């Protein structure tokens, strides 16, 4: 069994792989001529050139550098270059508003900004020009920038081209310790202003070492290929989609986005993909619709696969189902696996709770889906489901090696180990609130089962307590609602109330098909005034209610004015709903449901 070496810092891990891999491909992007690669040595040369350039610009050890970029090779190069210069990387979301950038620039006291495109520069430049400490802006692509103040503007190519990097000398100079801060990642802020989480080298390395053990012991570790899709500014992708592949000596392909994701999977044939539950929900709906249009036999085979998959997940496939199971392995499951590239070892879900039914669905079709659990404050992976301990989709698996987890008296999950952050940047009060005697208070409620797997009930702050004192986990109910084909998104409320009410976003494709089938214009105003449309949505809610406990049933609903998106500030970049924002917008209408 191959183990990941114990490295003193992230840069030593990277340069070790550079010496081993040299001119072998490392980072891939889709260009005019298809997929184009950069070798390990080329990436190292550019990262070292950037480190040299940052030091020539006057940046010193410990200075913060904000990085604003979509997923692309330059993100990885910039991240490594910033750290190699002894600076602290501050990756930020490309969806940030000027206000968000201003908060992060001022809070981090960043001395420089690296931004990838002209479009992104429009938002971040105005914030940087007014920032107190920012002195340099580096544009990865050629761009025009408004001049102002003491801020200097630099072109990436010119800046790096002026340097003559020495890879070995730079590697030797990277003498950072595991406890040194590597980056500051700002939480996506479901309930207020983002806080800067100080992640040290050892925290991310702890994640890499633990995840490598899972891959090695459960699947075997060799020639791994990753498809990077989630934002690299999110702790989950930053660790699991960038530094973990570096640790494994793997290749990273950068996806072109959601609209091209299916094609990217087919072309790149990843062995590991890091995703969020929302993507699984989308993929499930697409697969169901595709098979539905293929006629009776494919639908019959799909239903058989789901029936047998549930039995297999529950413990064993009965002897009478064995012949059909073998037939499915020949006819259906290989086609599904081919849609995912054909060599996928595991899809790893994180960032939000995964509905168990989604996990069982993909398991039934022959795909291994692992649910992980973590927080930015834990670099971020705390635990992961593993085939060797038994895949139980209503848990998030056992903790990573060398990770302690216990349950507090009130049910809160507490975590201890090198993966835990040293604190929030310049925020001692919040640090003291969540870090007590070395234990990270996660804010999640749960328990540990007989096999040592963590089961999460809900977020401590999100738990709904009705007027009778019953606790209700909203994420479970919302997850059940969004499994229905009529419903794309949902939020339920009911704190100190007699029952739950809900906010529903109908599925756009279902809306189009319903309108066409009923001879109704697919017009938002017309549909909102159509009682049959409301009854169709309510019927979906009623189906869900049949499988819920009395205190979980959603008694009444309203339709949202628009989908929850990152752009309208109703979702975080990691695809979690911002409950406080939705309550501000829809609070009066939701409260009115209790008066009728």
Q: Provide the CATH number for the domain around residue 303.
A: 3.40.50.12780
Same domain as 522, residue 506: yes
Same domain as 47, residue 174: yes
Question: Domain for residue 222, yes or no?
Answer: no
- Interior/surface letters 28-44, b for 16+ CB within 10 angstroms, e for the rest: bbbeeeeeeebbbbbbb
Question: Domain for residue 61, yes or no?
Answer: yes
What average pLDDT is seen over the chain?
92
Strand partners, 89: 65, 183
The predicted pLDDT at position 209 comes to: 97
pLDDT band per the 50, 70, 90 thresholds, residue 192: low
The answer to whether residues 26 and 251 touch, using CB atoms and an 8 Å cutoff, is yes
Q: Round to whole Å and give the CA distance between 279 and 222.
A: 26
Q: At residue 82, does pLDDT exceed 90? A: yes
Q: 354 is written with which tokens?
A: 């995964």
Q: At residue 532, does pLDDT exceed 80? A: yes
Same domain as 417, residue 278: yes
pTM for this model (two decimals): 0.84
Higher per-residue pLDDT: 73 or 192: 73
Q: What percent of the chain has pLDDT over 90?
A: 72
Q: At residue 147, does pLDDT exceed 70? A: no
The predicted pLDDT at position 538 comes to: 94
Quote the Cα angle for 384-80-263, to 5°: 60
The predicted pLDDT at position 529 comes to: 83
Q: Provide the CATH number for the domain around residue 556.
A: 3.30.300.30
Quote the Cα angle for 353-250-205, to 5°: 60
Same domain as 411, residue 497: no
Same domain as 287, residue 175: no
Q: At residue 78, does pLDDT exceed 80? A: yes
Q: Which helix (H) or strand (E) holds 311?
A: helix 296-314
Q: At residue 293, does pLDDT exceed 70? A: yes
> Which residues lie closer than 8 Å to 512 by C-beta, 6 or more apart?
522
Q: What is the pLDDT of residues 475-531, one digit of tens each?
A: 889 988 998 999 999 999 998 888 999 999 999 999 999 999 998 888 877 788 889
Peptide bond into 370 cis (omega under 30): no
Last residue of a domain, one of 166, 199, 232: 199
> Which residues lie closer than 8 Å to 283 by C-beta, 6 or more apart?
none
Question: Domain for residue 67, yes or no?
Answer: yes
Q: Provide the CATH number for the domain around residue 50.
A: 3.40.50.980
Q: What is the pLDDT of residues 217-266, one digit of tens each?
A: 999 988 999 999 999 999 999 999 999 999 999 999 999 998 899 899 99
3-class DSSP state for residue 150? coil
Q: What is the pLDDT of residues 51-75, one digit of tens each?
A: 999 999 999 999 999 999 999 999 9
Same domain as 511, residue 455: no
Q: How many CB atoms lie within 10 A of CB 151?
A: 19
pLDDT band per the 50, 70, 90 thresholds, residue 90: very high
pLDDT band per the 50, 70, 90 thresholds, residue 191: low
Same domain as 428, residue 350: yes
Break the chain down into helix, strand, coil percent, rounded to 5: 45, 20, 35
The predicted pLDDT at position 79 comes to: 98
Same domain as 363, residue 472: no
Q: Give the count of domains, the chain.
A: 3
Q: 71 is written with which tokens?
A: 């997923």
Question: Domain for residue 531, yes or no?
Answer: yes
Question: Domain for residue 53, yes or no?
Answer: yes
Q: How many CB atoms lie within 10 A of CB 102?
A: 18
Last residue of a domain, one of 459, 485, 511: 459
The predicted pLDDT at position 475 comes to: 85
Same domain as 504, residue 445: no
The stretches of 66-166 forming alpha helices (DSSP H) are 73-84, 98-108, 118-129, 156-161
Q: At residue 8, does pLDDT exceed 80? A: yes
Question: Domain for residue 217, yes or no?
Answer: no
Q: At residue 403, does pLDDT exceed 90? A: yes
Same domain as 157, residue 20: yes
Q: Round to whole Å and give the CA distance between 116 and 314.
A: 48
Last residue of a domain, one of 459, 492, 511: 459
Question: Domain for residue 230, yes or no?
Answer: no
Residue 228: closest CA among 176, 282, 272, 294: 272
Q: At residue 204, does pLDDT exceed 80? A: yes
φ and ψ of 557, to 5 deg:
-140, 160
The domain of 78 spans 11-199
Q: Round to whole Å and give the CA distance between 417 and 202.
A: 10
- Interior/surface letters 385-397, b for 16+ CB within 10 angstroms, e for the rest: bbeeeebbbbbbb
| Total residue length of the chain | 596
Same domain as 446, residue 318: yes
The predicted pLDDT at position 240 comes to: 96
Question: Domain for residue 194, yes or no?
Answer: yes
pLDDT band per the 50, 70, 90 thresholds, residue 22: very high
> Which residues lie closer than 8 Å to 154 by C-beta, 6 or more apart?
53, 57, 136, 137, 138, 139
Same domain as 308, residue 159: no
Q: Round to whole Å and give the CA distance between 6 and 536.
A: 57
């Amino acid at each position: 069994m191959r183990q990941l070496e114990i490295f003193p810092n992230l840069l030593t891990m990277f340069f070790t792989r550079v010496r081993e891999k040299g001119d072998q491909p490392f980072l891939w992007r889709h260009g005019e001529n298809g997929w184009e690669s950069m070798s390990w040595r080329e990436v190292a040369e550019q990262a070292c050139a950037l480190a040299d350039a940052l030091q020539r610009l006057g940046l010193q050890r410990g200075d913060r550098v904000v990085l604003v970029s979509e997923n692309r090779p330059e993100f990885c190069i910039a991240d490594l270059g910033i750290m190699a210069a002894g600076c602290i990387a501050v990756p930020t979301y490309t969806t940030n508003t000027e206000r968000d950038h201003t908060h992060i620039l001022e809070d981090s006291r960043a001395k420089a900004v690296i931004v990838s495109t002209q479009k992104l520069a429009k938002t971040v430049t105005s914030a940087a020009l007014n920032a107190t400490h920012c002195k340099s802006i580096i544009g990865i692509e050629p761009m025009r920038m408004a001049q102002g103040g003491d801020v200097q503007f630099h072109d990436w190519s010119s800046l790096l081209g002026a340097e003559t990097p020495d890879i070995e000398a730079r590697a030797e100079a990277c003498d950072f310790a595991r406890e040194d801060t590597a980056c500051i990642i700002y939480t996506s802020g479901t309930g207020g202003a983002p806080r800067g989480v100080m992640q040290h080298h050892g925290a991310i390395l702890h994640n890499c070492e633990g995840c490598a053990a899972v891959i090695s012991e459960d699947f075997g570790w060799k020639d791994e290929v990753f498809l990077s899709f989630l934002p690299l500014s999110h702790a989950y992708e930053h660790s699991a989609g960038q530094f973990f592949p570096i640790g494994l000596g793997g290749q990273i392909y950068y996806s072109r986005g959601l609209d091209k994701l299916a094609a990217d999977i087919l072309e790149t044939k990843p062995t590991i993909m890091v995703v969020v539950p929302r993507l699984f929900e989308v993929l499930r709906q697409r697969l169901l619709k595709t098979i539905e249009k293929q006629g009776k036999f494919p639908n019959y085979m799909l239903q058989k696969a789901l029936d047998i998959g549930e039995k297999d997940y529950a413990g064993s496939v009965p002897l009478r189902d064995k012949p059909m199971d073998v037939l499915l392995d020949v006819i259906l499951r290989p086609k599904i696996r081919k849609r995912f590239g054909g060599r996928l070892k595991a899809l790893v879900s994180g960032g939000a709770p995964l509905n168990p039914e989604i996990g069982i669905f993909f398991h039934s079709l022959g795909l291994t889906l692992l649910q992980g659990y973590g927080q930015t404050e834990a670099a971020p992976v705390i635990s992961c489901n593993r085939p060797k301990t038994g895949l139980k989709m209503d848990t998030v698996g056992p903790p990573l090696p060398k990770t302690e987890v216990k349950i507090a008296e009130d049910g809160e999950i507490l975590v201890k180990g090198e993966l835990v952050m040293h604190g929030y940047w310049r925020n001692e009060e919040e640090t003291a609130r969540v870090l007590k005697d070395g234990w990270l208070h996660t804010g999640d409620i749960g328990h540990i089962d007989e096999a040592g797997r963590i089961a999460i009930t809900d977020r401590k702050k999100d738990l709904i307590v009705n007027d009778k004192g019953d606790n209700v986990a909203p994420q479970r109910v919302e997850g059940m609602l969004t499994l229905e084909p009529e419903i794309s998104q949902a939020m339920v409320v009911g704190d100190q109330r007699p029952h739950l009410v809900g906010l529903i976003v109908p599925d756009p494709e279902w809306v189009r098909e319903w309108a066409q089938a009923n001879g109704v214009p697919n017009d938002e105003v017309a549909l909102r005034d159509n009682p049959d449309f409301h009854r169709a949505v309510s019927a979906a809610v009623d189906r869900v209610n049949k499988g819920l406990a009395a205190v979980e049933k959603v008694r009444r609903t309203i339709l949202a004015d628009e989908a929850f998106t990152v752009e309208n500030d109703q979702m975080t970049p990691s695809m979690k709903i911002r409950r406080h924002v939705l309550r501000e917008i829809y609070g009066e209408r939701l409260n009115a449901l209790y008066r009728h």
